[in-house]
Structure 1
Amino acid sequence: MAAVNTPRLFTVTDRRDEITATVTLELQPLDDQPLPVARPGQFNMLYSFGAGEVPISLSGSINASDSVRSADRYTHTLRAVGKTTEALARLQVGDQLGVRGPFGRGWPMDQLAGKKVVVIAGGLGLAPLKPLLEALLADITHYGHVQLFYGGKRPEELLYPESLIHWSEKIEVQLSVDQAGPDWRGHVGVITQLLASAEMDPDNTLAVICGPEIMMRFTIQALQKQGLPDTALYLSMERNMHCAVGHCGHCQWGPHFICKDGPVFCYADIAPWFFQREL
């Protein structure tokens, strides 16, 4: 228990500005100990000295061969929306912070094998899905077909534009924005409009979803209309996580602890609570 409660000292080895108020930090431990295995969909607790600690999903794990399972650095994409995340977003190369993790249950990689995989992201929700997409692309022959549906407010608010171009060379990528100028060539409107016209085989398709909760609600309804069963839908949830090991109770949601039982859930396991907005 002491190990998971004690932040490990990391240094910022790279920093990239992304969209508005959003940065990606590459982090490397100061000691020589190997990093724990990080699975796509898991999160770390990032600690800013004098500010506090927040849960941030992994947006990548890096080593010389780009293997997610044997990384010597973590990457996190975060948005400055409060005291702690604002402090983290101000970090520069060479600055230090504390890291605990990785924690939680990630995306169901074993269940995805051999299936058509539909990846659906909204806004900053692409960040927790990035390691999943990179894992799928690294072993693409094990999956029937991979599609990415990604929506944002405006074209300039879409994350990872270079990665989107790279991914589109290997998988189907469909983009949607709420507002766009005359130069935009993609879809304008909500992402569920794209899903309504997508071809899906309910018997051989799994969908993974991450984004604002309201977007995920409408996305689940759109996928259900396409015939996908609740057991074929996976989503990443966010709540006020503090301890990250299911002890403090801050992230309890019905019978579940988001930090321990999630953050990735099969929708069939959480359907009774998902549309109860007071939870």
Structure 2
Amino acid sequence: MALALAAGGAAHAAGSRQLATGGASTIEGGAGGGLVPWAAITGYGAREEIGATAFATRINTGDYRLDVQGAAVGLFNRIELSASRQELDLVALGPALGLPGAHLRQHVIGAKVRLAGDVLYTRMPQIALGVQYKKQQDFALARALGARDDADVDVYLSATKVFLAGVGGYNAFLSGTARLTRANETGLLGFGGEGRNGRRVALEASGGVLLSRRFAIGAEYRGKSGSLDAVRESAWRDLFVAWFPNRHVSVVVAYADLGTVATLPDQTGWYLSVQGAF
């Protein structure tokens, strides 16, 4: 969820790029923030190196609990391949629908390629093009709400840049993403709908400040515009703190505001993600 800058350091087994320049892991598996992808390539592998990451994330609002596990590999700081498994536990909504223990599962397979620039070493931002194939595994509820399909592909374009001494003398970063999608609640409620079945553009952004070599703070925004007439969909936001103790471990804690999710309003709660890099 945070992209930071460390001023030097020797190469480690995880790779030779600067500390935290691979970001953290998103809920869909690739490098970036917790809620949104960035142009960064996962891991610490430089031009002639391969880096890999694995992660586990939980978001708990009380009414819902989202658990995600996944892994990604970065090839030569150019190509990223990722996979993740999401499971949304309908803690409150399931019993209300007469479905205690109900949950929604989704599998995501992603690929990203760096097209131009570098997050640190070029004046222009790093720009990357990504695709995510999403397959919803429990489609009955989504179909009942009007979703058209249980699988689809998101396409996104991201730009990410670190600014040295950008905010009050501290290093800072900004990232923006434009996503072409048909997903309802990122795909957990299927894709498309009766009234609006075409793809639409959703905008996403994140930014923050590195307070030291190992700590960063910031915020994220993920715009969403679902196709289901029966279910209002809100933009997602969070405020985060990220800790990078070394090249092998990162921990992100956030306060997330998911708005209205599947008819239940005021979905706020805590986000925790732990990533290992190899």
TM-score (norm: length of structure 2): 0.29
Between Structure 1 and Structure 2, the one with more helix by share is 1
Report which of the two has the higher share of strand.
Answer: 2
